[in-house]
Chain A
Amino acid sequence: MANAARQRVPVADQDVEPNADQISWDFGTSAEEYRKLIHYLPVALWQVDTRGVSAPFDRLKAQGVTDIATYLDTHPELVEHAKDVVRVTAVNREAVSLLRGNSAADLVGPVRYVYSSTPDLAKRVMVAHFEGRRNFFEQTRIAAFDGTSVDVLFTVTYATPSQELDTSLLMMIDIGERLKAEAQLRQLQADFTHAARISTLGELATSIAHEVRQPLTAIVTNAETSLRWLAREDVTLPKLKQLTTRIISNARRAGDIVQRIRGMAAKREPGCASLDLNEVVDEALLFVRHDIESWSIDLSARYGTHLPKVTGDRIQLQQVVVNFLVNSIQAITQGSGLARRIELATTVDGDGSVVFCIRDTGPGIADENLERIFDSFFTTKGMGMGIGLAICQSIVVAHGGRITVSNHPDGGAQFRFSLPPGVVDQM
């Protein structure tokens, strides 16, 4: 779409001189037809004469230089030299259009302009060339002639030594639209996660109201008790001090709960902190404790000791655990089983990753649904949101982890996620 808006410039056919030796497949067409084919290919092509670096490369090889990357780091003048002596000999019309040139003449000559906004790219192209690789590719941004820059997939195909040619073919594919679409997708995903988090909060609103009312009740009652003591003749200072202290600690308790809710609802980029998974699980339990109690569910938590820290976003991981817990509670309360039990555990896996595991005594998951359970909008619940587990999966994957589901041999569903141990130097 961007190409359509760009100025199309007619370029003479003789700008591209395809070398028949480079094109080994045979369409039964003439060299002239190849020339036309290349000229009108919807991919930007540069034919590059690399003879200028042959002599320096041969010299370095004769000197026994093998680590060319390090050599070029200490001899940047060779890279600068190459940008002048390596020359573009032909381009096709898409190349002119991509870089917003006026004509092919703008693009023919020393290759220096290609690297004007990414000086290190030239070095990497030279390293691959020196090491005798067939291809080089990189996603990068190239400066166009109108002062803008273009996101491209940049590839170089080198001639093989056996071909004894000094011609490389440089190709650029415009990926601006793709990158824009990806950015929009990421934004959409962030909005989606935010929406899911808010609706999870909605489901848990009763639970949270209950959590806040407990300290409020304690505050009001302690204050009323203080007033009644003050009206009595046998009032003592220690008694008043005790009541006032309780008021303060309950006010703090209420404040902490509000703080956590704000944290759950806050929309922000994923944080990157060194976390103790046990703490994350503990905090998540706050949001469902009330439901677990009011449904008389027996909860057992086995916390692994000396777990390695994991690196990630506290709130997001909390959300995963809360989602799992809400699922288990719903499975148990909607099922008909007599046992009402949730078992959760944290452990370290054989490969050092940190594992969270939850199992419930609900009806389990039908075999045909096991495959689809992490799909967006997949739900078997009449009132379910259906995005909970999809979000859980994307959060865990974004943390470099894995999420799995299975049915326990003794019944009930079993969810598990593992996270790679975090970097220790943050501690």
Chain B
Amino acid sequence: MSKAALVAIVDDDDDVREALSDLVLVLGLECCAFDRAEALLAEFVPGAFDCIVTDARMPGMSGLRLLQRLRDLDASVPVIIITSDADSTIRSRALEGGAHAHLVKPIEARVLVVHLESALAGKWKGSPNG
């Protein structure tokens, strides 16, 4: 069996980060968690992650700026942006900036699964029970 796809979780909130990481793990994916965008960038090399799930608002670098930095680095890694408010400007900026998807907290697992499946395009198939 080939190596499981690796998903990076970026969220400054400890509880949310833990919960998202465990969800990704139970889905049968590998997971790597960061509490700040800067921490992820420090470790980033193209191809390191198969997908990045990041909070939009964080101290320091925001999720949108992280997306921009990744695109500047010419990385094509799919980025799923999560926000805590249904602010349409963030949504359009995220999608215009090349985000794979924009989700609003609290996130439904089945919705995340759908987006992870399409983001990981063939590298992973979510279980049907959710």
Is B truly associated with A?
A: yes
Q: Are B26 and A228 in contact (CB under 8 A)?
A: yes
The residues of B that contact A219 with a CB separation of less than 8 Å are 106
Q: Cβ of A186 < 8 Å from any Cβ of B?
A: no
Quick check: is B108 within 8 A (CB to CB) of the other chain? Answer: yes
Give the CA-CA distance A38 to B18 in the complex, in Å.
86
Question: Is B13's beta carbon under 8 Å from chain A?
Answer: yes
> How far is A250 from B106 in the complex, measured between Cα atoms in Å?
13
Residue from B18, B19, B23, B109 having most chain A Cβ neighbours under 10 A? B19
Interface contact B105-A213, CB-CB below 8 Å: yes
Contacts of A224 in B (CB 8 A): 23, 108-109, 130
Does A216 make an interface contact (CB < 8 A)? yes
Known contacts A217-B105, A224-B23; is-contact A253 B15 (Cβ 8 Å): yes
On whether A228 and B106 interact (CB within 8 A), knowing A218-B16, A243-B22, A293-B57, the answer reads: no
A-B pair count, CB < 8 Å, reads 84
A229 at the interface (CB under 8 A from B): yes
Interface string of A361-393 (1 = CB under 8 A from B): 000000000000000000000000000000000
Interchain CA distance A2-B118 in the complex, whole Å:
81
B129 at the interface (CB under 8 A from A): yes
Interface of B is mostly: loop
Give the shortest distance, in Å, between A216 (CB) and chain B (any CB): 5
Chain A 21-62 per-residue mask, 1 if CB under 8 angstroms from chain B, else 0: 000000000000000000000000000000000000000000
Which residues of B sit under 8 angstroms from A338, Cβ to Cβ? none
B85 at the interface (CB under 8 A from A): yes
For residue B125, give the distance in angstroms from its CB to the closest CB of chain A: 15
Is B75 an interface residue, CB under 8 A from the partner? Answer: no
Contact of A220 among B12, B18, B106, B129 (CB under 8 A): B106
Q: How far is the CA of A290 from the CA of B55 in the complex (A)?
A: 13
Contact of B84 with A213 in the complex, beta carbons under 8 Å: yes
Binds A, one of B39-47, B58-66, B93-101: B58-66
Instruction: Kindly report which residue of chain B lies nearest to residue A212, judged by CB atoms.
Output: B84
Would you call the interface of chain A mostly helix, strand, loop, or mixed? helix
Residues on A with C-beta less than 8 A from B105 are 213-214, 216-217
What string of 1s and 0s marks CB contacts (under 8 Å) between B8-47 and chain A? 0000110110111011001100000000000000000000
Chain A residues positioned under 8 Å from B16 (CB to CB): 214, 217-218, 221
User: How distant is B54 from chain A, measured CB to nearest CB, in Å?
Assistant: 14
Contact B22 A225 (CB under 8 A): yes
A209 sits at the interface (CB 8 A): yes
Partner-A contacts on B (CB < 8 A): 12-13, 15-16, 18-20, 22-23, 26-27, 57-60, 62, 84-85, 105-109, 127, 129-130
